[in-house]
Amino acid sequence: MGQFHFLAFFCTALLLSSVIHAQPVPSMVEKYQGKAAPGTKSGKVINQLGEPVPDVTVANMRTGISTYTNSKGLFYFKVLNQNTVLLLYGDHIRTDSFRVRHVRDILIRVEEKIVPNVPQVIINTGYQQFRKNRNAGSDFSVNQEQFQQRVAINAVHRLESIVPGLLLTPKTPYLNQPSWFSVGARTSMLNPNPLIVVDHFPLQGNLININPDDILDISVLRDASALSLWGSRAASGVVIIKTRSSQYIDRFRVSFNTSISLAARPALFTTGRMSAADHIIFDTTVFRSKYFDQLLRFPTRPPLSQVVEALYKHLPDAQRLAFLDSLASLDNRHDLKKYFYRPSLRQHYFIQMEGGSKAYNYYISTGYDRIHPEWQLSREERTTALFKFNTKFRALEISTSVSLAQHLQKNMNGVPESMLPYQMLLDNNNMEVAMPYKYRYSYIDTAGKGRLLDWRYYPLREFRLRNHLVTENDYRYNLALKWDAGKIVPGLMMNAYFQHQAARNQLKEVQDEQSFFTRDLVNSYSQLQPGTVLQPIPEGDIAERYKTKYASTNMRLQFSYSKKWSNKLLVLMAGKDRIVNEEMYSRERIYDYNEASGKGQTDVNDTTLYPMYYFQGLRLAIPSPQLSRSLYHTYASAYLNAFFRWREKYDLTASARQERSNLFARRINNQFSPLMSVGVAWQLSSERFYHSNWLPFVRLSATYGSTGNPPYDAFAWRTISYSGKNDNGDPYAFLTNPTQNTLRWERVRNLNLGVNLRTVNDRVELSLNWYRKSSRYLVGYNDLDPTLGTDLTGNVAALSSRNFDIVIESKNVLRQFSWRTSFMMSIMQEKITYTDDTLLAAWKYCDPNYFTTVKGKPLYGLFSFPFKGLDQHGDPLGEKGTQYIDMIMARGSSSLTYHGRATPPIFGSITNDFNFKQWNLSITVSYKLNYYFRRQSINYYDLYQGVPAGSADFSRRWQQPGDEKTTTVPSIPVSVEPDHNRDIFYNFSSVLVEKADHLRLQNIHLSYDLEGRALKKGRLRLANIYLNCSNPGIIWRANKWGIDPDQLSGYRQPVLYTIGFRGTFK
C-alpha cells in the first residue's frame, strides 16, 4: 500500500500548488442564477451580516407547501402571492415569519444561531446525499442541536437518547468507550456494533479521536437498501459521520467553544457493602469451623485477615474483644475519600477557522480536552486537529483533509486491590499501613532473616505508585476528486476517494521498584547463599509495553449518471471499493527499566527454572511475555445503485453489491453471492385524489434486502497458533480451529416499512418504522462433546427480530415563546429461531459470561433457579430442596424460570425544548421498560476465598430458626468445605431478579444567546452561554432497592455540571 499512499500525497501536493497559482478573484456579488423553471418566484434568506443562509425551511402558511434554501440562500416557489406569510425555521436560525410585500425582491433577514450552523435535513448515505425523506428507505438524521447540547467527549455517548433504537451497553464507569452499542435489534451474536463511517470510509481507529465539535452531521441508516449498499459489515446498521468543512461562499469565520465541567467526589457511602463489624462476625464464625486450619497447612502460605490472625493468637478474651471492637468501628471509606478520590474536573477548548470563496474553501480546527477524573493522580487528555481544503477547477472538485488526534489516559485503569472495610490507609502517625496480601505475615516477617526486600503490601503506596499510561495517536488523510463529466456525457459524474488512516496505541505500565509487584517478584526468585543473595530478577522498575498499530487504506472509484426528463428522474451509480486493514500487536516486558532513557533489560533468560522462595517445590522461569501478532483484512467490492423517480410521487431504488474478502476463505460457501436490495416509496399526498388540509404530507416506503457479517472469529480451515518454546527448546503450537467445510458467513434479511406524516406547516411530524430482520448462520461458540477434542466457533443459531420505532417531532408553540417536543420510542422483540445448543448445565444459562442460545427466547434472556424460601437451617431451597448440584447441573434451561429480557425491549426518550427570546432550555428524559436484572447479593464462597467486598445483604442473613419467615438471605455456611454450589444456586435464584424498568432525567441544558452591547463589546458576531447538567438521576424505578439498573456495581456516578461559552468572532 505504500506506493499508493505516496502517490496520493504527491498528487495532492501537485494540485495544491496549482490551485495557488490559479486562484480566481472571488466575485463580490452573488448573482441570482435562476435554476428554477421559468415563472417561479424566488427569494433570498440572509443572516445578520447579510450572508446567505442555506437550508432554511420556508413554508407557505397559506398553501402548506414548503421548500428549502440552497447554498446561496435562495428558495423558489411556483406560486407565491402577495401578503402570503412565510414561516422560516431551521435548526440553525431563530424561527421567524415574513409577510410577502413584493413578490419580486424577497429578501428575508433571519437571525442565525451559532450552533449548529449545519443543515440537519441531509441524509448522507456515505455514497450520496439525499434530503430527508427523498430516498426510499428509513433513516435517521441526528438532531445537531441536541447533539451539541451534550457534553460527553465521545460522540457515541452523545447519541444516547437522540437516536431511536440506540443502546449503549454496558456502561463502564471510567471508560469513555462503551463495550458495545447497537442500533436497532441485534442481528449478530459476536458483532453487535454498527459500522461507523467517517467521511466516506469505515473508521478503523477509535471514535473518541474525533472531536464532536468537528462533526457536521450524523445519519443513522437502518433500512435494507442502505445496509445492502454498505455490504457485509453493515448488518447491524451504519452510522455515517460527516465532519465539518466550509462552503464555497465568500466568508471568513472564527468560532470557539469552551466549557468546564465539575462533579463532586464520588458518594462512596452509596455502595451496599458489608460493614467491618459484619466481616468480623463472618471470620469469627468460620474460624470456629476450623476452615482456616487447613489454610495454615497450605505450602504457599496464603494470607489471613487481621481478625483471623487475632483469633489464632492466644490472647486473653478481654484483650481480643477490645481489638475486634476497635476494628469494628473502622470504615476505610473516610480514608479512601481523602487519599484516593477527589471531585472531578473536565475542560474543553475548541477553536475553528473557516473561510472561502467561489473557488476554494478551507476549514481548520483544533480542540483540547483535559479530564481530571475522580481518582487522584489520574488524568485524560485529548488533542485534535482537522485541516480541510476544497477547491474547484471548472468541472473538477478536489477535497483534501488531514485529521490528527492524540489521546492520553494516565492511570485510568482503576484503583488497586479491594480492601476489607477496616483496612485503613494511614495510621495515627501518618505512616502507611500494610495489609495482608498473598502471604501470611508470620511467614514474610521471618523469611530471609532480613536479607530479602520488604514483602508487605501497602495499599496507599500502591495507589500512589501507579504508572499506567495509554497513548493513542490517530491520523487520517483524505483525498476526494469529483469530476463533473457533464460536458462529455451530460449527467455523468465521476468520484474518486482515497483515504489512509493510521493509529498507534501504546499502553505502558511501569511497576515501580518500590511496588509490591516488583518486590514480590524479586523476592520470589531470590536464593539465599552464604554471604550473598542471588537475585535472578534485578531490583528496579519493570515496564510492560503493549503496542497496537492500525493502518487502513481505502480507495473508491464511483461513477454516477443522472438524467432528468419532464417528470422522471434517473440516477445510476456504480463503483468499486477496496479496503485493506492491518493491525499489529506487540507486547514486551523490560526489567530494570529506566524511565528517562526508556531502556532496560529485555533479553532475559526464560529457560532456566528457579525455585520460588515462598515454595521451593515450585520452579518457574523468569516471566518474559513477548508477543507479536498481526491481522490483515482486505475487502474488494463492487456495487451498483439505481434510483428512479416518477412524477415526484413514486420512487424506486435497487442496489446490488458483491464483496470479496480474505475473511471468507475459499471454502466458505456463497462467497460471491451478491447482496441485493429493492425499495419503493410513494408520496401519497401528491396524488390528485388526496385531499387533506390537516395532513398535507404522507409518504409510504418499503425496502427489502440482504446483508451479512463476515465470520470474524470463525475460520473454515484448520489453523494452528504457535505459542513459544517447549521444555526441550522446540517451538510448539496449538490447534485453534478444526476444518469446517460448512462454515458460512452470517446472512441477514431485512424488511422495512415506513410511514412519514406531517401536519400543516410541519407542526407535527410523525415517522413510524417497522423492521423485520432474520439472521441465519449466526456465528457463535459451541461447546462440543469433549471426546471430539476441540471447541468450535461456527454457525450455531438463527435469529429473527422485529423492531418498531416511533419518532414524533412536534412544534407545540411557535411564537416568541416556542416549545418543541421530540418523542422517541423503540419496541424490539427478537428471538432465537434455531440453535445448535447442546443443552448445557443449567447454571450456564444464568451466568452472563456464557453466551447461551435458547430457542424461542431473546439473545439476552434472564433465567433463574426457582427460589422456594429458606429452610430451618437457613439454606436456600429450590425445586429439589437443597440438592444444589442436581439443580445447577441439570441439562438445558427447562428447569429454570424465564423472567424476560435482560436488555430493554421498550425504550426511548422525550426531549422538550423551550425557547423564549434568547433563552433556551432543553430537558431530556429517557426511559427503559419491561426488562430485568439480577441484584447482587452475598456470596459466601467468595468470602471464604478471601474476596473482600461482601454485600450489605449479610446483615439481613438468616441467623436463627424462625428467621426464614422474614428473610431470604441464606445463613453463613459453617463447614470445612464451603459448598460453592449453594452460592451458585442462591446468586442465580429468582429471589434476586428484579424489574429493571426506570425513567431517567438524562440531560438538562440551559443556554442564553448574547445580544447587542454584550456582543459588540466582545467583538463577537454571535455568542452563547450554556449550563448543562448531565445524568441528574433516576426519576422513577421499578426496583425497591434504589439500584440503578444501568450501573449495578460500585458507587453512584456523581452528576456532572458544565458551564460553557461559545461564539463566533466578527
Partner 1 sequence: MYKKPVNRLTILPVALLMLSIACTKQAALERVPDSSLDLLNSIEDVQALLDNMIVMRETPALPEISADNFYIVDSGQFYPVERNAYLWQREIFEDNAPVEDWNQPYKQVYYANSVLDALPDLLADKPQLISQLRGAALFIRSYAFYNLVLQFANLYDVTSAGGPGIPLRLTADPFEQIRRATLGATYDQITNDLKEAAHLLPAMPDPLRKNRPSAPAAYALLARVYLSMRDYAGALLYADSSLSLYTKLLDYNSIDTSVIDPFSRNNEEVLYQSNLYSGATMLHSGNCYIDSLLYRSYAAADLRKQLFFTIDNTGHPISKYSYSGYNFPFSGLAVDEVLLIRAECKARLQDAAGALEDLVTLLKSRWKNGAYTPPPVNTPAEVLALVLMERRKELIFRGLRWADIRRLNKGNASITLQRKYRQQLYTLPPNDPRYVFPIPPDVIAFNNDIEQNPR
Residues 56 and 91: beta-carbon distance below 8 Å: no
Cα 592 to Cα 603: distance, rounded to the nearest angstrom? 11
User: Is 1018 a binder of partner 1 (CB under 8 A)?
Assistant: no
Q: Please select the residue that binds partner 1; options are 31, 666, 688, 691, rule is CB under 8 A.
A: 666
For residues 875-914, which are near partner 1 according to CB under 8 A? 885, 888-889, 891
Q: Please select the residue that binds partner 1; options are 46, 636, 814, 1001, rule is CB under 8 A.
A: 636
3-class secondary structure for 346-412?
EEEEEEEEEEECCCEEEEEEEEEEEEECCECCCEEEEEEEEEEEEEEECCEEEEEEEEEEEEEEECC
Cα 911 to Cα 904: distance, rounded to the nearest angstrom? 20
User: Is 976 a binder of partner 1 (CB under 8 A)?
Assistant: yes
User: Is 534 a binder of partner 1 (CB under 8 A)?
Assistant: no
User: Is 1017 a binder of partner 1 (CB under 8 A)?
Assistant: no
Paired strand residues for 752: 703, 771
* Alpha-carbon torsion (205, 211, 217, 222), positive or negative: positive
Q: Please select the residue that binds partner 1; options are 27, 179, 662, 812, rule is CB under 8 A.
A: 662
Nearer to partner 1 by C-beta: 19 or 700? 19
Q: Please select the residue that binds partner 1; options are 721, 812, 894, 945, rule is CB under 8 A.
A: 721
3-state secondary structure of 292: helix
Binding mask 730-759 for partner 1 (x = CB under 8 A): xxxxxxxxxxx-------------------
Minimum Å gap between C-beta 727 and partner 1 is: 6
Minimum Å gap between C-beta 614 and partner 1 is: 14
Q: Please select the residue that binds partner 1; options are 2, 788, 965, 966, rule is CB under 8 A.
A: 788
Backbone angles phi, psi at 816, to 5 degrees: -65, -35
Backbone angles phi, psi at 634, to 5 degrees: -135, 145
User: Is 487 a binder of partner 1 (CB under 8 A)?
Assistant: no
User: Is 607 a binder of partner 1 (CB under 8 A)?
Assistant: no
The closest of 512, 536, 540, 522 to 447, measured between CA atoms, is 522
User: Is 402 a binder of partner 1 (CB under 8 A)?
Assistant: no
Cα 811 to Cα 813: distance, rounded to the nearest angstrom? 6
Upper half-sphere CA count for residue 956 (Cβ side, 13 Å): 13
Nearer to partner 1 by C-beta: 377 or 395? 395
DSSP 8-state assignment for residue 947: -
Minimum Å gap between C-beta 237 and partner 1 is: 24
Minimum Å gap between C-beta 559 and partner 1 is: 10
Nearer to partner 1 by C-beta: 350 or 745? 745
3-class secondary structure for 763-799?
CEEEEEEEEEEEEEEEEEEECCCHHHCCCEEEEEEEE
Minimum Å gap between C-beta 23 and partner 1 is: 11
Cα 158 to Cα 348: distance, rounded to the nearest angstrom? 15
3-state secondary structure of 962: coil
User: Is 843 a binder of partner 1 (CB under 8 A)?
Assistant: yes
Residues 1055 and 343: beta-carbon distance below 8 Å: no
Burial of residue 323, with CB atoms counted within 10 A of its CB: 0-12 exposed, 13-18 middle, 19 or more buried: middle
Residues 245 and 925: beta-carbon distance below 8 Å: no
Minimum Å gap between C-beta 876 and partner 1 is: 18
For residues 790-819, which are near partner 1 according to CB under 8 A? 790, 792, 794
Q: Please select the residue that binds partner 1; options are 632, 690, 817, 916, rule is CB under 8 A.
A: 632
User: Is 190 a binder of partner 1 (CB under 8 A)?
Assistant: no
Nearer to partner 1 by C-beta: 617 or 962? 617
Nearer to partner 1 by C-beta: 119 or 303? 303
Minimum Å gap between C-beta 784 and partner 1 is: 6
User: Is 720 a binder of partner 1 (CB under 8 A)?
Assistant: yes
Nearer to partner 1 by C-beta: 78 or 290? 290
Minimum Å gap between C-beta 393 and partner 1 is: 6
Nearer to partner 1 by C-beta: 739 or 894? 739
Only one of the segments 143-151, 424-432, 778-786, 1027-1035 lies at the binding site for partner 1 (rule: CB under 8 A); that segment is 778-786
Q: Please select the residue that binds partner 1; options are 617, 672, 966, 1019, rule is CB under 8 A.
A: 617
User: Is 13 a binder of partner 1 (CB under 8 A)?
Assistant: no
User: Is 8 a binder of partner 1 (CB under 8 A)?
Assistant: yes
Instruction: Give the CA angle between residues 709, 713, 718 to the nearest 5°.
Output: 120
Minimum Å gap between C-beta 1043 and partner 1 is: 29
Q: How many residues bind partner 1 (CB under 8 A)?
A: 90
Residues 145 and 202: beta-carbon distance below 8 Å: no
Q: Which helix (H) or strand (E) holds 543?
A: strand 541-564
* Alpha-carbon torsion (221, 226, 228, 229), positive or negative: negative
Only one of the segments 13-21, 27-35, 198-206, 325-333 lies at the binding site for partner 1 (rule: CB under 8 A); that segment is 13-21
DSSP 8-state assignment for residue 126: S
Q: Please select the residue that binds partner 1; options are 263, 324, 460, 555, rule is CB under 8 A.
A: 555
Minimum Å gap between C-beta 851 and partner 1 is: 17
User: Is 297 a binder of partner 1 (CB under 8 A)?
Assistant: yes
Q: Please select the residue that binds partner 1; options are 86, 159, 425, 481, rule is CB under 8 A.
A: 481
For residues 247-276, which are near partner 1 according to CB under 8 A? none
- In order of 545, 841, 846, the CA distances from 889 in angstroms are 42, 5, 12
Residues 1018 and 894: beta-carbon distance below 8 Å: no
Minimum Å gap between C-beta 779 and partner 1 is: 14
Nearer to partner 1 by C-beta: 770 or 781? 781
DSSP 8-state assignment for residue 214: G
Only one of the segments 171-179, 517-525, 551-559, 1011-1019 lies at the binding site for partner 1 (rule: CB under 8 A); that segment is 551-559
Residues 406 and 474: beta-carbon distance below 8 Å: yes
Cα 586 to Cα 627: distance, rounded to the nearest angstrom? 5
Cis previous bond, 116, omega within 30: yes
Q: Please select the residue that binds partner 1; options are 366, 413, 634, 967, rule is CB under 8 A.
A: 634
Nearer to partner 1 by C-beta: 478 or 677? 478
Nearer to partner 1 by C-beta: 385 or 889? 889
Minimum Å gap between C-beta 470 and partner 1 is: 23
Residues 460 and 483: beta-carbon distance below 8 Å: no
For residues 670-689, which are near partner 1 according to CB under 8 A? none
Only one of the segments 32-40, 76-84, 90-98, 722-730 lies at the binding site for partner 1 (rule: CB under 8 A); that segment is 722-730
Task: Output b/e per residue, 749-768; b: 16+ Cβ within 10 A.
Answer: bbbbbbebbbbbbbbbbbbe
Residue 125, C-alpha cell as written in the block: 448515505
Residue 335, C-alpha cell as written in the block: 480514608
User: Is 528 a binder of partner 1 (CB under 8 A)?
Assistant: no
**Distance in Å from the first CA to the final CA of the chain:** 45
User: Is 288 a binder of partner 1 (CB under 8 A)?
Assistant: no
- In order of 314, 809, 944, 1022, the CA distances from 93 in angstroms are 81, 17, 64, 12
Cα 521 to Cα 774: distance, rounded to the nearest angstrom? 53
Q: Please select the residue that binds partner 1; options are 248, 287, 393, 517, rule is CB under 8 A.
A: 393
Minimum Å gap between C-beta 985 and partner 1 is: 12
3-state secondary structure of 274: coil
For residues 52-111, which are near partner 1 according to CB under 8 A? none
Cα 1032 to Cα 766: distance, rounded to the nearest angstrom? 29
